[in-house]
């Protein structure tokens, strides 16, 4: 028991950029409180939960999107979730410059997969319309990530310099 507590503190010291299931507490709290039972992995509607570093569960948006079905929360017996928090998570979609549209290719696949219309295209951009994410609308669901043919979309927590 004492060793387990020691291990938890060890993991807590490691800064992590992993994305935890929606409505998880801070990453430090998550790795402190999660018992790594991994019960949530098979319950996930879209199969996007994986065992990450140290056996802690994280989201892999290359596998699909989060539907916010809530099953990961329902099955979890540890206090790692805070359903009262205003947003499911703090990351947003970000488009990298190797997006085909910036190369002049007519591609709007990501927009077609965004249910909340958070991706708009600048129709005046030359040689082709280019995508822009509306941070007020993006809910971080990740539906755009797997849809992009060149993996140009990643999830990022905005900083004051963005
Ligand atoms: S809310 Fe549903 S789809 Fe999203 S990570 Fe949890 S189980 Fe998977
Ligand atoms: S993460 Fe979801 S809500 Fe945000 S731009 Fe992509 S598809 Fe739209
Ligand atoms: S799907 Fe990918 S390549 Fe196509 S416009 Fe969107 S970000 Fe660019």
Summarised one tens digit per residue, pLDDT across range 89-120 is: 999 999 999 999 999 999 999 999 999 999 99
Co-location of 60 and 120 in the same domain: no
Residue 9 and residue 71 in one domain: yes
Q: Full-prediction pTM beyond 0.75?
A: yes
Q: Is residue 125 part of a domain?
A: yes
Angstrom distance (rounded) from CA 17 to CA 156 = 9
d(CA 77, CA 151): 35
User: Do 6 and 70 belong together in one domain?
Assistant: yes
Q: Is residue 41 part of a domain?
A: yes
User: Do 124 and 62 lie in a common domain?
Assistant: no
59 CB within 6 A, ligand 2 = no
Domain that holds residue 134: 92-156
Domain end call among 14, 44, 75: 75
Q: Are residues 108 and 44 in the same domain?
A: no
Q: Are residues 150 and 101 in the same domain?
A: yes
Q: Which of 46, 65, 141, 142 to mutate to test the pocket of ligand 1 (most atoms within 8 A of CB)?
A: 46
For ligand 2, is residue 118 a contact (CB within 6 Å)? yes
Domain identity same for 66 and 126: no
CA of 152 to the centre of ligand 3 (A): 6
Contacts of the segment 12-15: beta carbons below 8 A, 24+ positions apart: 14/53, 14/54
Q: What's the structural domain count of the chain?
A: 2
Rounded Cα distance between 35 and 8, Å, is 9
- Ligand 3 atom closest to the Cα of residue 130 is 5
Tell me whether residue 84 is in a domain.
Answer: no
Q: Which pLDDT does position 2 carry in this prediction? A: 44
In this structure, the number of other CB atoms found within 10 A of the CB of residue 29 comes to 15
Closest C-alpha residue for ligand 1 atom 4:
66
Query: Ligand 1: residues whose CB is within 6 Å?
Result: 21-22, 43-46, 48-49, 66-72
Per-residue pLDDT at 7 exceeds 60:
no
pLDDT of residue 3: 46
Instruction: Select from 50, 148, 22 the least CA-distant residue to 94.
Output: 148
Residue after which a domain boundary falls, among 44, 75, 106: 75
Same domain, 139 and 102: yes
63 inside domain: yes
Q: Which residue's alpha carbon is nearest to atom 7 within ligand 2?
A: 114
- Residue 80 in any domain: the answer is no
Site to probe by mutation for ligand 1, drawn from 51, 60, 70 as the one with most ligand atoms within 8 Å of Cβ, is 70
Last residue of a domain, one of 75, 100, 117: 75
């Amino acid at each position: 028991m004492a060793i387990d507590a020691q291990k938890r503190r060890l993991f807590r010291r490691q800064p992590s950029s992993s994305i935890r299931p929606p409505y998880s507490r801070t990453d430090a709290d998550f790795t402190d409180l999660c018992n790594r039972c991994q019960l949530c992995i098979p319950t996930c509607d879209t199969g996007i939960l994986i065992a990450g570093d140290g056996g802690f569960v994280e989201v892999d948006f290359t596998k699909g999107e989060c539907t916010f079905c809530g099953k990961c929360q329902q099955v979890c017996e540890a206090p790692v979730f805070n359903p009262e928090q205003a947003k499911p998570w703090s990351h947003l979609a970000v488009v990298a410059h190797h997006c085909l549209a910036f190369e002049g290719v007519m591609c709007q696949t990501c927009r077609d997969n965004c249910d909340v219309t958070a991706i708009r295209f600048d129709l005046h951009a030359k040689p082709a319309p280019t995508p822009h994410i509306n941070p007020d609308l993006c809910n971080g669901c990740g539906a755009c990530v797997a849809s992009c043919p060149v993996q140009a979309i990643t999830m990022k927590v905005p900083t004051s310099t963005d």
